[in-house]
Structure 1
């Protein structure tokens, strides 16, 4: 292990300590990660200052409120059609004579912000659309607080090509936990990484038990409050498969030494087992403000960023092995991660389409992974298409010439095939109007 590449996320590498306030750009500011990050910033005005915000454009009133409270210089929305409503919302929030922030709009607006002058970019965008901003922030030399796991999953070789060792600080609770536990020893001392999973709402159920579950059932996560796509990914354990790939890319640990264990309480966020038999666990009550604070403040810690345990109260912490038959997503993720190239992009894009189909009642719950598996297999059986510069295509192992265009092409193909495959199924149970409305909410 000592001869392996320097990890992308390395707690032993210390950049500049805080000198005054850090300027932060928040991408995905109206989502779950973004809103919690802003709460943290507002509670620590002596440490952090947000200079720019980006969002998709569906919650312009909230975006305008955030911009006003933080007094940012720039606001970006991905949907150009949202600009008039955003201008109106900003005008209603700012007082007469107050200068309004600059507005950027369009699919490249977040990428432009990611390269702007600041200390840290927090990428809280959901989905693989976060890849271009991730690359822009790293290329510009910014510290990247990465909550957008998909950008690393689908563009691993691209990210590794531009990131300096330790430039990425992970914000996922699991990878933030590994980041902290790894600080206790060298990589040569590490035997395995243990990624914990809550088990989602369907822990203990068999594959047959899952056949008839509804979107409402899947969105009832027992410990975390997240967006619908991430919550369904937790129910299928696709999120855990993605995290295994992410851990491999961040820490350069082989897949066979990354284990998943089910921990329903979600207190232990992940563990590192060292070669002497010691296991170090990072534990806090379930709250994303802790990992966010780590991403924004490292190498310094932010006091009272998140709640601590009350050790005067009894509690039980349980651990169970993963049921790979009921939840085949982790094994499939290991496979595509090992294949490399655009295979992870195919896996991720097909899954996003299948989750949308499930939430809309066009695909049964078990059909999500069945369809994703079929799309991945088709990509591999077709043989990797090769671009003119020799990069890998849909599913094959990547060369050093893998490009963003290759990734996007593979994603487009996978999304189309997943939609076609979902439409061809005959075992779909249409949800009631009430169930559909709850899923959309």
Structure 2
């Protein structure tokens, strides 16, 4: 194991871009989403530690983006949608006052990528989806510390990310990978026997595949412990998110897939565990709150006091652990399969899933149809060629094909159900 490649995320290594005196300059990508808004809350409570210099968003919540920019005093605001620039400028003017200088505005599909390479210490990538790949690569190439909450960019472009990242340059922000990151600090890589990734089980824990056939979108969005965006919440219901996290753990820590286990833990108190060769298991535990992992991503190797709530140990509590039901939730084993195939297979898996989730939300696909369709797309994609270097065009081409094929299959399913 000591001869394996150096891991992307290593708590023993600290990558520190040249920084001046005062707060650490931070760029937040996806600022109006769940990760972004919680990161801003953390920053505002710690002005001596962090200063936000740039924000990016897709442009669907212009008023909130303008409010964030004004409150943080950022230099640059980026939006993916060029059509919202007039509304954004108007919202910024209303916040800053007529005649007052406004932040620089970047607009278009490459705006977040351009912002990710701007002058700062740390880039927090909180974008949802594989569109986060280009900003991830830009931040790494520019020499920024990357606080990575956008798991999809690592999933679909693993070799590309690994080729660009320097030791210690990536700090994971997913609660599970931040937990592994912290637990791994207790030993060397040679001491690690197994990574144990915990899953809440989502809203359908304990249900059989047959019992999942007729669940609704509202059922799938009713997560018992976490408040997240709709796509991530449905991925939690199918456990696709856990499959993606298994691939991500493999890429971040260079641990073989057969030594990465998933266990269901409904309370979501233990975020993941590391089992060492001497039989010891270290668990990282906090109440469910993403501000703790965000603080690790922004502040490491320092901890941010009172970043998130702590346990009240004066109150009794029960923590449960259950094996994963792979028949009802086949997504984790499918993710292992595509992770081992590597190449463009993870990109196909992720893109097909995103299309199927949208079809489910639109009422065009039943819940079980999500993984049935993704499985078929992965099977049709086959085994990626070996011995070639993955490129960004390879990833984009594979995603385009997977999305188109998934739409064809979901449309066919919707038509068949309409005729029934």
Are the aligned partners of 1:268 and 1:283 in contact in 2 as well (CA < 8 Å)?
yes
Q: Deviations over 1:242-284 (max 9, x none)?
A: 0000000000000000000000000000000000000000000
SS across alignment from 2:211 = coil
Question: Where do 5+ consecutive residues of structure 2 fail to align?
Answer: none
Q: Scaled by the length of structure 2, what TM-score is found?
A: 0.97
Distance 2:5 2:121 in 1: 25
Distance 2:38 2:63 in 1: 17
Shift in alpha-carbon separation, 1:406–1:15, aligned structure 2, 3 A? closer
Distance 1:209 1:428 in 2: 21
Distance 1:70 1:145 in 2: 19
Q: Scaled by the length of structure 1, what TM-score is found?
A: 0.93
2:15 equivalent in structure 1: 15
Cα deviation for residue 402 of structure 1 reads 1.1
Distance 2:169 2:255 in 1: 18
Are the aligned partners of 1:29 and 1:124 in contact in 2 as well (CA < 8 Å)?
yes
Distance 1:237 1:358 in 2: 15
1:339 equivalent in structure 2: 341
Distance 2:41 2:351 in 1: 31
SS across alignment from 2:242 = helix
1:320 equivalent in structure 2: 322
SS across alignment from 1:412 = helix
1:418 equivalent in structure 2: 406
Are the aligned partners of 1:364 and 1:427 in contact in 2 as well (CA < 8 Å)?
no
In the TM superposition, 1:40-439 aligns within 5 A as 40-380=42-382, 395-399=383-387, 401-425=389-413
Distance 2:142 2:394 in 1: 22
Shift in alpha-carbon separation, 1:91–1:209, aligned structure 2, 3 A? same
Cα deviation for residue 370 of structure 1 reads 0.1
Cα deviation for residue 428 of structure 1 reads 7.4
Cα deviation for residue 425 of structure 1 reads 1.3
Aligned-residue Cα RMSD (Å) equals 1.3
Distance 1:199 1:249 in 2: 23
Question: Where do 5+ consecutive residues of structure 1 fail to align?
Answer: 381-394, 431-441
Count of residue pairs brought into register by the alignment: 416
Shift in alpha-carbon separation, 1:265–1:320, aligned structure 2, 3 A? same
Are the aligned partners of 1:262 and 1:322 in contact in 2 as well (CA < 8 Å)?
yes
Shift in alpha-carbon separation, 1:429–1:92, aligned structure 2, 3 A? farther
Distance 1:287 1:426 in 2: 38
SS across alignment from 2:313 = coil
SS across alignment from 1:209 = helix
Distance 1:299 1:127 in 2: 28
Are the aligned partners of 1:328 and 1:369 in contact in 2 as well (CA < 8 Å)?
yes
1:392 equivalent in structure 2: none
Cα deviation for residue 95 of structure 1 reads 2.2
SS across alignment from 2:212 = coil
